[in-house]
């Protein structure tokens, strides 16, 4: 009976040991998965920042071109008015 108890105890110890090993492996896998997801999130954030900077740069360039065109249109309008006055007086 003592021997049976010892065998039972050994079997339970083996089972507990296996369960502990599996739990450790699961925890290690979870940590690895978390780190992988964290890296993917950081990569996505970096890419989003690059895209944002590119968009901001393009918007600034667009606004600059828009202002340049506005100034050119203003200058052409003045020249047209000068020509009209010249033709009217001439």
Does the pLDDT at position 2 exceed 90? no
For 16-70, the pLDDT digits (tens) are 999 999 999 999 999 999 999 999 999 999 999 999 999 999 999 999 999 999 9
φ/ψ (deg, to 5) at 87 = -65, -40
Residue 90: predicted pLDDT = 72
Where does the chain have alpha helices with state H? 2-89
SS3 45: helix
């Amino acid at each position: 009976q003592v021997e049976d108890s010892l065998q039972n105890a050994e079997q339970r110890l083996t089972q507990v040991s296996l369960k502990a090993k599996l739990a450790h492996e699961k925890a290690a896998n979870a940590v690895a998965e978390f780190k992988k997801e964290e890296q993917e999130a950081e990569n996505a954030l970096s890419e989003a920042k690059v895209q944002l900077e590119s968009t901001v740069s393009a918007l600034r360039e667009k606004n600059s071109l828009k202002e340049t065109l506005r100034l050119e249109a203003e200058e052409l309008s003045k020249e047209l008015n000068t020509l009209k006055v010249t033709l009217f007086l001439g």
